[in-house]
A and B are shown apart, each in its own frame.
Chain A
């Protein structure tokens, strides 16, 4: 809709613009935003790939031939492949409980889910060290039974789990609450069991929202540095994830290798963002198409 309006008074006509600012102001803001993004996002992004490819493609490839680099990649994938499904299951369960049932303490529960977002990841890591570390509460018992959690895979997975708890749940809860429970009730009156209702009615309705949550959860799981750094112990080839490996390489002045691994994480981020915007697009258009269902 054109926002320009012509006002006529005392024989004069003014063209008054109601919603669009003066062109100078408009372009000023756009330039500012673009400049800011270039300086703080685009240049660093390009720098990552430029540094990684400084010694040519072969130098880049060689960086990944390193045993430790491969181990870090494997470990990151392994931790994410454990943490993401667990938090997805948890997120669905809690969103289902919160949106389809009434119970005491619901608001408290919703608030608790957000704790990992409010707590510094380093603190999250420390909690596990205090719990499972040698000097920790359960440390003596664990070492007696020869169970290693801190400075080993379980600790890394636990730390990753902790920081990624909210992503799926937070995405699903408002969406499922807005959908109400009428469709589930309809399914049950038609004779469907709880499981059939979930698989045939609830899951198809939440799939885009769920996928969106999973993508965000995965991005965070692979990129987590702070919490994992505390519990990992930085044992090369064993307990180093990709972000930790990048730090080590960099500290050893091995810039090309550091940036090569970093570029992999960056690529992952770009792929994630692309996937996210595709899902978001789907999700929004599905929601828009559903709107008349509610209002009619």
Chain B
């Protein structure tokens, strides 16, 4: 089912949760709505489902406007962050719910429902749990039951509200891969709301980054990560070093196509901000280029697959974070207090509107 969100605005009292948001999702895509809490992503999802009404704008599903239609006419499946399983029903009864409440004329026979429930439980790998109650399941199992329950009514659109938000890191990772495989199998247009950038980048076809009720950027995971459109997206997707000030023109990227360009150190001019990812910074023991930034090593964190080095810029006293491979770290033989020279391999400059 294709989705068109057309200039949607929603206010709660005086607070504008969504400010003139527009979005197009082609049929069969898995879209991630990514943003910090309070950015309006869950509200947008609830408006799509029909659980909230927008103040302005239209929702169009498959070329039919549904803005004023009841939830039941929209054919959406909704998966809640805290599962919202019916606690007094067994797993099988939970999954069967959507079929049992159908009008008599459309309701499948008891055997058909039974068969369908078991197919769905097989899909989410929980056949053995059919007669358990939700409280007897782990968080990850509960969310799979919730997904099977939502799929039982054969929705044209699957809406997932932070589905893995309440689970621990390992289960979350497993489930989002599993969700991706499931989507590749079923091809239901899906919208996944999350504040976890890794989850968004890994599971979705396209990422919609939201901030303060507006869309900051829409793009494939590669696009939003490699070419962030705004400073916010840069900040939100991964760690970043921020340098304020103008890069002297003669030392800018154009002048140094070999990547030997400089970092700004001139704090006078606040209209330009340069963003560099920690892994895009290169360190050397000796100055090979006048534009390199001089810094001293403050901390070295060797735990994990990569080494994180925290530096203190000598002139500006700014903290700089650098990520090195283990090999490079061994080559450099860094110790606390050592003086090193920093230059970026890649950076992005944003103009800040003067206030």
Contact = CB atoms under 8 A, between A and B. Distances in A.
A84 to B, nearest CB: 24
Nearest to A197: B101
A204 interface: yes
Interface in A267-287: none
B86 A191 contact: no
B72 to A, nearest CB: 5
A17 interface: no
Contacts of A201: 86
**Range of interface residues on chain B?**
20 to 34
B320 interface: no
Nearest to B46: A185
A205 to B, nearest CB: 6
B78 A296 contact: no
A192 B166 CA distance: 26
Interface string B96-130: 01100110000000000000000000000000000
Contacts of A296: 138-139, 142, 166
B82 A294 contact: yes
Contacts of A293: 82-83, 85, 87, 134-135, 142
Contact of A189 (B51, B86, B142, B166): B51
Overall SS of chain A's interface: helix
A290 interface: yes
A187 B149 CA distance: 10
B77 interface: yes
A5 B135 CA distance: 37
A188 interface: yes
A205 B87 CA distance: 8
A105 interface: no
A284 to B, nearest CB: 15
A186 interface: yes
B135 A290 contact: yes
A188 B80 CA distance: 13
A286 to B, nearest CB: 9
Contact of A191 (B142, B153, B166): B153
Contacts, number: 73
B314 interface: no
B98 A191 contact: yes
Interface in A170-205: 182-183, 185-193, 196, 200-201, 204-205
A190 B98 contact: yes
Contacts of A23: none
Contact of B101 (A185, A200, A204, A205): A200
Nearest to B138: A296
Given A182-B82, A294-B82, A190 B153 contact: yes
A117 to B, nearest CB: 31
Interface string B127-155: 00000001100110010001001101100
A289 interface: yes
A144 to B, nearest CB: 49
A11 interface: no
Most central of A185, A190, A201, A204 by chain B CB within 10 Å: A190
Contacts of B78: 185-186, 189
B330 interface: no
A2 interface: no
B101 A183 contact: no
B49 interface: yes
Contacts of A183: 84-87
A189 B48 CA distance: 11
Contacts of A190: 97-98, 101, 149-150, 152-153
B71 interface: yes
B101 A191 contact: yes
18 contacts: A183-B85, A183-B87, A185-B78, A186-B78, A186-B149, A187-B101, A189-B51, A189-B78, A190-B97, A190-B101, A190-B149, A190-B150, A191-B72, A191-B98, A191-B102, A192-B101, A200-B97, A201-B86
Interface of A: 182-183, 185-193, 196, 200-201, 204-205, 289-290, 292-294, 296
